[in-house]
């Protein structure tokens, strides 16, 4: 056999080794995270429940999910350990004070000045501008339509149908 025929097998085996290595690293990080749990930590379970760790034993955790609600979970059921700020934001709705660093929702605060400008007062006196697109052909058709409306036409109006009436017999 030549090296060319063995090359795809070698590449495939190498990719499998790299994938299993990264999966083992992630598993080891999860085990380390679960072993470092302490009472008072905010956690999210793999089912999506948020709770506070009350007691830690070898394989289980006693979680406080609310006033008077204590639940016993396996350590493997913990999906993430949350920081205090993140836990309070999610569970209690308490936002960290970031108002000083916040960017305004609109640009008006960036363009406002204390003194009114002359350009702004002059612009407010102008008539509103129609920004609709009109072609020369549209103007001609509008004029011909107005001429037809000026002529007297007799249009017979059909009585309107009310709910429940139909033409079916």
Residue whose C-alpha is closest to residue 65's, from 95, 79, 44:
44
22 pLDDT exceeds 90?
Answer: no
Q: 146: phi > 0 → left, psi -120 to 50 → alpha, else beta; which?
A: alpha
Average pLDDT value for the chain = 76
Instruction: Please state the separation of Cα 147 from the chain's center in Å.
Output: 54
Strand partners, 69: 66
Q: What is the pLDDT of residues 27-53, one digit of tens each?
A: 888 888 888 888 988 999 999 999 999
Paired tokens of 48: 């999506």
Question: What is the secondary structure of 109-139 as a DSSP string?
Answer: HHH--SSPPHHHHHHHHSPPP------HHHH
Phi, psi (5° rounding) for residue 119?
A: -65, -40
Give the separation between CA 123 and CA 128, rounded to whole angstroms: 10
Q: How confident is the model at residue 91 (pLDDT cuts 50, 70, 90)?
A: confident
Of 106-115, 119-128, 148-157, give the range with the top mean pLDDT.
106-115
- Of residues 12 and 141, the one with the higher pLDDT is 12
79 pLDDT exceeds 60?
Answer: yes
Q: What is the pTM of this model?
A: 0.46
Q: How confident is the model at residue 55 (pLDDT cuts 50, 70, 90)?
A: very high
% of residues, the chain, pLDDT over 70: 60
Q: How confident is the model at residue 148 (pLDDT cuts 50, 70, 90)?
A: low
Q: Residue 108 belongs to what H/E stretch?
A: helix 108-111
Q: What is the pLDDT of residues 152-165, one digit of tens each?
A: 444 445 556 666 66
Q: How confident is the model at residue 72 (pLDDT cuts 50, 70, 90)?
A: very high
Paired tokens of 57: 């034993």
19 pLDDT exceeds 70?
Answer: yes
């Amino acid at each position: 056999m030549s090296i060319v025929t063995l090359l795809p097998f070698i590449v495939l085996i190498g990719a499998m080794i790299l994938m299993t290595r990264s999966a083992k690293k992630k598993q080891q990080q999860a085990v380390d995270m679960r072993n470092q749990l302490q009472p008072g930590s905010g956690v999210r379970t793999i089912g999506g429940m948020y709770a506070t760790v009350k007691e830690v034993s070898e394989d289980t955790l006693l979680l406080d999910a609310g006033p008077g609600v204590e639940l016993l979970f396996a350590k493997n059921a913990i999906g993430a350990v949350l920081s205090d700020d993140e836990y309070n934001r999610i569970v209690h709705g308490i936002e960290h004070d970031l108002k000083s660093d916040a960017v305004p929702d609109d640009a008006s605060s960036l363009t406002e000045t204390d003194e009114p400008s002359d350009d702004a007062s002059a612009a407010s006196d102008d008539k509103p501008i129609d920004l609709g697109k009109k072609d020369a052909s549209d103007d001609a058709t509008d004029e011909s339509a107005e001429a037809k409306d000026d002529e007297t036409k007799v249009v017979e109006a059909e009585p309107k149908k009310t709910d429940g009436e139909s033409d079916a017999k």
